[in-house]
Structure 1
Amino acid sequence: MLQSITKARPSDEDTAHDDGKRHKKRRFLVPFVRALIQFALMAAVIIAAYVIMDRLIAAKPERTARPKVDVQIPVQAVTITLGEQRPTINLFGEVAASRSLEIRPSVSGEIVSVNPDLGAGQRIEQGVELFLVDRIDFEAAVAEAKANLAQTDATIIENQANLSAEQGQLEFAESQLLLARADLKRADQLRKNGTLTQKEVDDRSLIASQREQAVSQRRNNIAVAQARLSQQQAVRERLELGVERAIRDLNNTVVRAPFSGVVRSSSVEIGRIVSANDVAVSIYDDAALDVRFTLTDAQYGRIAADGDPLIGRNVALKWAVGGTDYSYTGTVTRIGADIASERGGVDVFARIDENEELPVQLRPGAFVSIEVPDRLYENAARVPETAIFDSNTAYLIIDGKLQARELHVAAYDGSDAIVTAGLSQGDRILSTRISEIEEGLAVRIVDANGVAEEADEIEKPEQGNRPSAEVLAAAKKISGLSDVDWEALPRQKRRLFIQEAREAAGK
């Protein structure tokens, strides 16, 4: 029995094994219970916060909804005026001398004198002596030509005297011939009567024949004398030309300026031998300067179709030099004969007017800007280029709303556009650029300083109802708008906010 009892009691090893199992079970249950308690606390806090927030929201007094604000965009506008519009074409051109000359001496020889003012860039007057060629040989040629002419004149006088003598001898011979013929006639009659013999008649006939021969000889002598005289007169004419040529060559030894102008270059020096093929001096007329510019085919065609011709049209020029712009005027005088294909248009030349008052005078080769009057457009409007959207659309402002209008833009003049169709007299169009523009957009016209063109009636002092600064500040606060948006509000909207601020202040 004792043995059975002993077997029924557990051993020490079993007891230790059971204690280990209980310890592991306890280690697992403690964190689980702790996590469960934390979750319960979090759920309780969330539920409590929700309940409290719900009660707070329920306890909040109801507020009326703020009225929707119809904001008008502040913009600038222009009023359309129809009339004659002539845009200006802005071009660039080059100044050139319309008259220039390379002076070559007409005679060859040694230069013995040079004008001290003859230098590149110097201005010379018409008729001023430029240089002088040695005159000795030319003076001798003149003297020789005159001597030959005098000798020929003497020969002519001699021939004239011989001719006159021969003419006198002819007259005497003709009178003697008449007498001989009359005597022969009487002798024939006397022979018939038997008074004279035939021999006497033959003698008188011989005398008449001799006198006829003498007349014929005198006539031949006169013809020879006249031929000699004509020959000497021809020689004299040739010698006269020689004298004139010699005198001209003598005069050409003095080279003078053919017109007033500016010296481009000079290669003359004392002692230099010049010939007729040498370019001694080059000058240009500074009083006859042209500016050449090119019109494109479109510009030339547009102006050519105008009733006002291009030739005779006034142009304005500006020459920028030394940091200063100098202004000049000119008149179109001619149009190039050919199309300047390399420049893509038509060359036009304008004569520049003289302006002695300017301290700086134009020079050939100067690069200038030019303003040329374009075609005249009648019943057209001039609008800022900023008022043109999508190249041919403008927006009219009607009752504070934008309304699209299609235009016909004929030309541009700087920052302006010339519109010939689509606008009427007195129209007001938008001139402010708006990125997202659309028809029907609400706008408000302001000036360049952002001030509305029409003052707000409720803010006029004559009405005796002008709000104070405190009321205006309260009205802006109620609206929740910025100063810019506040100014853009229509008058009726601002009146509502001001009235609301006054009512709040009265309470």
Structure 2
Amino acid sequence: MRFLRRSLTGLFLAALTVAGLGLAAYIVRDAVETRMARTSGSMPARERVYSVALVPVQSQTVSPVLEAFGEVVSRRTLEIRARTAGTVVELGENFVEGGRVQSGQMLVRIDPSDLEDAVALARADMADAEAEVSDAEAALILEQDDLASAQRQFELRQTAATRQQDLLDRGVGLAADLETARLAESSAEQAVLSARSNINAARARVSSAKIALDRSTIALKEAERRLNEATIRADFSGALADVAALEGRLVTANEQIATLVDPDALEVSFRLSTAQYTRLIDSEGNLVPAEVVVSLDLNDLDLVTTGTIARESAAVGDGQTGRLIFATLARATGLRPGDFVTVTIREPELEGVAEIPATALSSSGTVLVLGEEDRLQEVSVTVARRQGDTVLIEIGDLEGREVVEERTPTLGAGIRVNPQRVDENAEGAEGVPAAPAMVTLDEERRSRLISFVEGNQMMPPEIKDRILAQLRQPEVPANMIERIESRMGG
């Protein structure tokens, strides 16, 4: 019992000790919280300052640039079709895919045997018609002579009847003689009428013969035209595409055997939105002849040429939007119909605008401007144009001020910043392009590069000569070497 009593007493004392420690901890924690609550205003938090890059807003006159994608087409493209059926017996020189031909050059000749026979028959029919015309004209002359003879006979008979009537009036003639004279006069008059009818018939025969001659002439010309159509010639100088004719092949009438393209009459067609189109028309609604730059990306180099906007499509087209624009090309070296190119159009100049990075503009059309005490202010601006990574804004009251180059979620109105400005005169400053790195080539590497460029058949001769001239220099641009070797697989 003594052991049990001592054990319970020990447990009771231990419980009292734990309770006392817990009460002490609670009192200490409550005292600390009270102390901290009383002294919290004596340790102010430091304001955070962000470093930002600034760009100056300067009024300037800018020609905005539109960028679109278009296709190179030829203003003169002709489908060459067989006008008559038959077997191809001869092909002209360079009648192959990509072959260059001259205006009037023979391209294809179809077997003309049947057509030559038709021409010979038409000529024979024409000769027969000419003979019929000659015969009819001779018969008409004879009928006219017959009428003249009948007319003279009638005049003689008429004179004789008049004489018999005079004799009878004087009492020396007989009535029977007068009657006989009158009958002879009537017969002569009937002969005259018959001769006139024969003349009319002869004249009708002449007219019919001449009509038959005209028909024969037309038939002969038609046969000769068909014979000429058996030989197909180039209507203008150009290059051949889609060649589908071979010697000995049977072609049908109106079958397409090739396409003739004029490679020197190229233009580019591209589509603009209606909003972009309205920027290229003048006050009278006419399309301005703005300059365009057309470029074709070939990975290792670009084919670039210039042109001028010439016209627009008359209709939008089914399922299309915007406007289809056509621009003529000044020089189309290396370009071919069907090339997909990038078209850059320079708009009319805008005055009183400033160019800033697109990252400086928010989705709501505001920018952050540096204010007093290096604190930011949010200002609404009017966007005049968006082009690539930059935007053009109306200058307004921002002349000479600085805006944040790139907005982030942590920046806003009232925030204090540490301005970071770019020294335009410092080396490597933005807007001053660095000179390309130059590399001195050893002879083996130089020879390998030159051999690759000389063997490239797809490269235009002008560009090839320029690259070869640079490769033969003591020092060669490193970016050019990198592009060529990437195409070599080295």
TM-score range, shorter chain: 0.5 to 0.7
Please point out which of 413, 417, 423 is paired with 1:438: 413
Note the 1:92-241 alignment, pairs <5 A.
Answer: 92-241=69-218
Alignment partner, residue 392 of structure 1? 365
**Which of 448, 468, 473 is 2:423 aligned to?**
448
Residue 384 of structure 2 corresponds to residue 407 of structure 1: no
1:176 Cα deviation from its structure 2 partner = 3.4
Name the residue aligned to 1:270: 247
The counterpart of 1:80, out of the listed 27, 43, 58, is 58
Specify the code of the residue in structure 2 equivalent to 1:365: G
Change (3 A) 1:129 1:322: farther
Identity %: 28
Deviation digits for residues 457-490 of structure 1, max 9, x if unmatched? xxxxxxxxxxxxxxxxxxxxxxxxxxxxxxxxxx
Q: Counterpart in 2 of 1:35? A: none
Give 1:172 shift. Answer: 3.1
**Aligned mates of 2:100, 2:385 — CA distance in 1:** 44
1:79 to 1:140, Cα distance in 2 relative to 1, 3 A = same
Q: Is the 8 A contact 2:362 2:407 kept in 1?
A: no
- Quote the residue 1:299 is aligned against: 276
Normalised to the residue count of structure 2, the TM-score between the two structures is: 0.67
| 1-structure distance, mates of 2:345, 2:108 | 44
TM-score scaled by length of structure 1: 0.65
Instruction: Give the Å deviation of 1:255.
Output: 1.5
The answer to whether the 8 Å contact 2:367/2:380 transfers is: yes
Give 1:319 shift: 0.6
Tell me the distance in 1 between the aligned counterparts of 2:178 and 2:222: 66
Q: Distance in 1 between matches of 2:351 and 2:167?
A: 116
The CA distance in 1 between the partners of 2:404 and 2:357, in whole Å, is: 7
In 2 relative to 1, CA 231–340 (structure 1 residues): closer, same or farther, beyond 3 Å? Answer: closer
Q: Which moved more, 1:283-292 or 1:299-308?
A: 299-308
Residue type matched to 1:236 in 2?
A: L
Q: Which amino acid counterpart does residue 199 of structure 1 have in structure 2?
A: A
- 1:383 and 1:187 map into 2 onto residues whose CA distance is 129
- Shift of the alpha carbon at 1:447? 3.5
Once residues 151 and 321 of structure 2 are traced to their aligned partners in structure 1, the CA distance between those partners, rounded to angstroms, is: 89
SS at match of 1:107: coil
Separation (CA, whole Å) in 2 of partners of 1:403 and 1:338:
48
Structure 2's unaligned 5+ residue stretches are 1-45, 427-490
From the CA coordinates, give the structure whose radius of gyration is larger.
1
Q: 1:201 and 1:449, CA in 2 relative to 1: closer, same or farther beyond 3 A?
A: closer
- 1:305: Cα distance to partner? 7.0
Q: Could you tell me which residue of structure 2 aligns to residue 89 of structure 1? A: 66
- Mapped pair 1:314 → 2:287: no
Please tell me whether the aligned partners of residues 52 and 405 of structure 2 are also in contact (alpha carbons under 8 angstroms).
no
What is the deviation of 1:179? Answer: 3.9
CA distance in 1, matches of 2:414, 2:175: 145
Compared with structure 1, are the counterparts of its residues 305 and 450 closer, same or farther at alpha carbon in structure 2 (3 Å cutoff)?
A: closer
Distance 1:428 1:131, change over 3 A: same
1:389 to partner: Cα distance: 4.6
Counterpart-to-counterpart distance in 2, 1:170 and 1:330: 81
Change in Cα spacing, 1:440 to 1:207, as seen in structure 2 (3 Å) is same
Cα separation, partners in 2 of 1:240 and 1:144, compared to 1, 3 Å: same
1:263 to partner: Cα distance: 1.8
Alpha-carbon distance change, 434 to 387 in structure 1, aligned in 2, over 3 angstroms:
closer
Is this contact kept in 1: 2:358–2:391, CA < 8 A? Answer: yes
Q: Deviation at 1:217?
A: 1.1
* Structure 1 match to 2:40: none
Following the alignment from structure 1 to structure 2, what is the Cα–Cα distance between the partners of residues 122 and 344?
38
**2:400 is the alignment partner of 1:427:** yes
In 1, Cα distance between equivalents of 2:140 and 2:163: 35
Deviation at 1:309, TM superposition (A): 3.0
| Distance in 1 between residues matched to 2:261 and 2:425, nearest whole Å | 58
Which amino acid in structure 1 is aligned with residue 270 of structure 2? F
1:457 corresponding residue in structure 2: none
Asked if the contact 2:55–2:356 (Cα under 8 Å) also holds between the matched residues in 1, the reply is: no
Q: Which residue of 1 aligns with 2:325?
A: 348
**RMSD after superposition:** 3.4
Give the 5 Å matches for 1:236-251: 236-251=213-228
Q: CA deviation at 1:88?
A: 1.6
**Cα drift, residue 373 of structure 1:** 3.4
Which stretch has the larger CA shift, 257-266 or 346-355? 346-355
Q: Deviations over 1:310-357 (max 9, x none)?
A: 3643322111125211112233344334435645433333333333xx
What is the deviation of 1:287? 2.6
Residue pair 2:84, 2:254 contacting (<8 A) in 1 also: no
Whole-angstrom distance in 1 between the partners of 2:346 and 2:318: 23
Q: Cα offset for 1:381?
A: 4.1
**Aligned AA for 2:343?**
I
Paired with 2:323 and 2:248, the residues of 1 have a C-alpha distance of 49
What are the superposed Cα offsets for residues 34-59 of structure 1, whole Å, 9 maximum, x if unpaired? xxxxxxxxxxxxxxxxxxxxxxxxxx
CA distance in 2, matches of 1:110, 1:305: 57
Structure-2 separation of matches of 1:202 and 1:81: 127
Moved more, 140-149 or 385-394: 385-394
The 1-side partners of 2:352 and 2:320 are apart by 34
- Deviation of 1:229 (Å): 1.0
- Measured in 2, the distance between the counterparts of 1:75 and 1:272 equals 74
Structure 1 pair 427/170, CA: closer, same or farther in 2 (3 Å)? farther
Find the counterpart in structure 1 of residue 256 from structure 2: 279
Instruction: Identify which range, 366-375 or 187-196, moves more after superposition.
Output: 187-196
* Aligned residue-pair number: 378
State yes or no: 1:367 paired with 2:340: yes
Over 3 Å counting, the alpha-carbon distance change for 1:72 and 1:247 in structure 2 is closer
Q: Which residue of 1 aligns with 2:237?
A: 260
Shift of 1:237: 0.9
Pair 282,75 (structure 1): closer, same or farther in 2 beyond 3 Å: closer
Of the structure 1 ranges 87-96 and 190-199, higher mean CA displacement relative to structure 2 is found in 190-199
**Which residue pairs with 2:443 in the alignment?**
none
- Kept in 2: contact 1:296–1:344 (CA 8 A): yes
